[in-house]
A and B are shown apart, each in its own frame.
Chain A
């Protein structure tokens, strides 16, 4: 039965490549892999975990967002290393491994997290992040299927025309292919645009690189238990100014 779900997903992905994935596909992916939810993010040279492209549901989206807020998590490790990361029980993760992530994830009702790289040959393009509310490892079957699925998802990002998987080359790259690339990049980047804009503002305010500016934003969010996106919005609205001394000035908005 599990094999059928995956086969249906693969068929769907090759017949209609691209994102977002349908609710049906999302449900099948979760059923095939024994997960409660899944999220796909794209990686690039910028700060990991990259940009969120799609999530199967609210928890999956918020879990991926949590990683982005904190800058740590299994998906972040996968984005950096290109290797899968399997964590069947967040309760027993040492506190210094992903600071802030296990408690934050458990608050979302998540106990197990598994992340897989999405790769095209030597190039890492993204991460598939799975979660489950009950602890325990992925079955051997699920593990194998997750790897197959990761390959199919990566192809889907490119508009994946190689539908038979038999080595036939896709049609020559023309406007169609680059349109897919642009669409995917646009779609992903829009989500966190405000965070990147705020990063730019803070980099000027503090006279630091964007990487350090983002780190300061993250520290501010983490120490106050806020979502990074909300902090970014406050910076953009000029309600919040990140300062050197750590006593970030918040203007009363009354």
Chain B
């Protein structure tokens, strides 16, 4: 499946999800598809849809707190298609909106990897027979839908992990950089004031403390010649 090729480090998540939604429509004989995802705050948002129609996006938007998508996310289980009467009964707002948009049934699968549930993928069909065909008769269709959802989940989780790791890597680089500058600053002070590097370190720390400044920034300023630290006076015992 060519979508799997996109699971590399720097792929654009939004673009990936949009293409996934379009792929669903092509593959599964449904009329629309969309994905909702959890955001950093834990709320659901519409991540992508097979078409950028406001009425389609709106249909997913309203499922952030109710409807099959919400139920799917909450239960971490697929929500199979139901007849329109039952749909209207269970989810009145969604059912009405779906009808108005020309859809007769929906099939929703969770975006899930073990116990991590990050959202849902919903397929929308305009003819009830098609969704019933998908749900009841077409096992391959169901499996493909879940497989596509699983692909999306893996890609998104990997991308999130990578961002977190890149942040840590950046912190590591900064920490290392700061250590080097602090050592250089010790040498600068040792030479300028004719003291040992240990005494230079004491001077650095003292200055940083008394000026509520970060040690690494003080060190940088010393090394760059922007800051001269006065030598400590004779110590009192």
Q: Using an 8 Å CB-CB cutoff, how does the interface string of B166-193 with A read, 1 for contact, 0 for none?
A: 1111111111111111011111111110
Given A200-B187, A200-B188, A121 and B180 touching (CB < 8 A)? no
- Contact, CB under 8 Å: A123 / B197: no
- Contact, CB under 8 Å: B166 / A178: no
Q: Which residues of B are found within 8 Å of A202, using beta-carbon distances? A: 187
Q: How many residues of A contact B (CB 8 A)?
A: 45
- Contact, CB under 8 Å: B160 / A169: yes
Q: How many residues of B contact A (CB 8 A)?
A: 43
Identify whether the interface residues of B are mostly helix, strand, loop, or mixed. Answer: helix
Q: Which residues of A are found within 8 Å of B229, using beta-carbon distances? A: none
Given A121-B165, A168-B114, A170-B161, A201 and B180 touching (CB < 8 A)? no
In the bound complex, CA of A4 to CA of B158 (Å): 26
Nearest Cβ on chain B to A236's Cβ, whole angstroms: 7
Is the CB of A75 closer than 8 A to any CB of chain B? no
- Contact, CB under 8 Å: B176 / A185: yes
Taking Cβ atoms with an 8 Å cutoff, the residues of A that contact B are: 42-46, 50-51, 120-123, 125, 154-155, 157-158, 162, 166-170, 173, 177-178, 181-182, 184-186, 188-189, 193, 196-205, 210, 236
Residue of B nearest to A195 (CB): B183
- Contact, CB under 8 Å: A199 / B172: no
- Contact, CB under 8 Å: A122 / B172: no
Q: Which residues of A are found within 8 Å of B113, using beta-carbon distances? A: 166-168
Among B170, B172, B175, B186, max chain A CB count under 10 A is at: B172
- B187 contact from A45, A121, A178, A196, Cβ within 8 A: A196
Within 8 A of A (CB), among B86-104: none
Nearest Cβ on chain B to A148's Cβ, whole angstroms: 15
- B186 contact from A184, A186, A197, Cβ within 8 A: A197
Q: Which residues of B are found within 8 Å of A167, using beta-carbon distances? A: 113, 154-155, 157-158, 161
A-B contact pairs, 12 of them (CB 8 A): A44-B174, A121-B163, A169-B157, A169-B164, A170-B161, A173-B167, A173-B168, A185-B175, A199-B184, A200-B184, A203-B187, A204-B187
- B184 contact from A123, A157, A158, A203, Cβ within 8 A: A203
Residue of A nearest to B155 (CB): A167
Q: Which residues of A are found within 8 Å of B114, using beta-carbon distances? A: 168
Residue of B nearest to A214 (CB): B184
Nearest Cβ on chain A to B232's Cβ, whole angstroms: 18
- A203 contact from B176, B197, B223, Cβ within 8 A: B223
In the bound complex, CA of A204 to CA of B171 (Å): 29
Residue of A nearest to B196 (CB): A236
Q: Which residues of A are found within 8 Å of B164, using beta-carbon distances? A: 169-170, 173
- Contact, CB under 8 Å: B116 / A123: no
- Contact, CB under 8 Å: A198 / B187: yes
- B165 contact from A44, A158, A178, A185, Cβ within 8 A: A158
- Contact, CB under 8 Å: B223 / A181: no
Given A196-B183, A198-B187, A200-B191, A42 and B168 touching (CB < 8 A)? no
Nearest Cβ on chain A to B183's Cβ, whole angstroms: 4
Residue of A nearest to B116 (CB): A168
Is the CB of B162 closer than 8 A to any CB of chain A? yes
Q: Which residues of B are found within 8 Å of A154, using beta-carbon distances? A: 169
Residue of A nearest to B192 (CB): A204
Residue of B nearest to A159 (CB): B168
Is the CB of B10 closer than 8 A to any CB of chain A? yes
- Contact, CB under 8 Å: A196 / B184: yes
In the bound complex, CA of A236 to CA of B171 (Å): 30
In the bound complex, CA of A184 to CA of B158 (Å): 24
Among A166, A197, A205, max chain B CB count under 10 A is at: A197
Nearest Cβ on chain A to B152's Cβ, whole angstroms: 11
Q: Which residues of B are found within 8 Å of A120, using beta-carbon distances? A: 162, 165-166, 168-169
Nearest Cβ on chain A to B7's Cβ, whole angstroms: 9
- A46 contact from B154, B171, B180, Cβ within 8 A: B180
Residue of B nearest to A46 (CB): B180
In the bound complex, CA of A105 to CA of B134 (Å): 67
- B190 contact from A122, A170, A185, A201, Cβ within 8 A: A201
Q: Which 8 A-B pairs have the closest CB atoms?
A: A200-B187, A196-B183, A189-B179, A185-B175, A167-B158, A197-B187, A120-B169, A167-B157
Nearest Cβ on chain A to B27's Cβ, whole angstroms: 23
In the bound complex, CA of A157 to CA of B188 (Å): 31
Is the CB of B9 closer than 8 A to any CB of chain A? yes
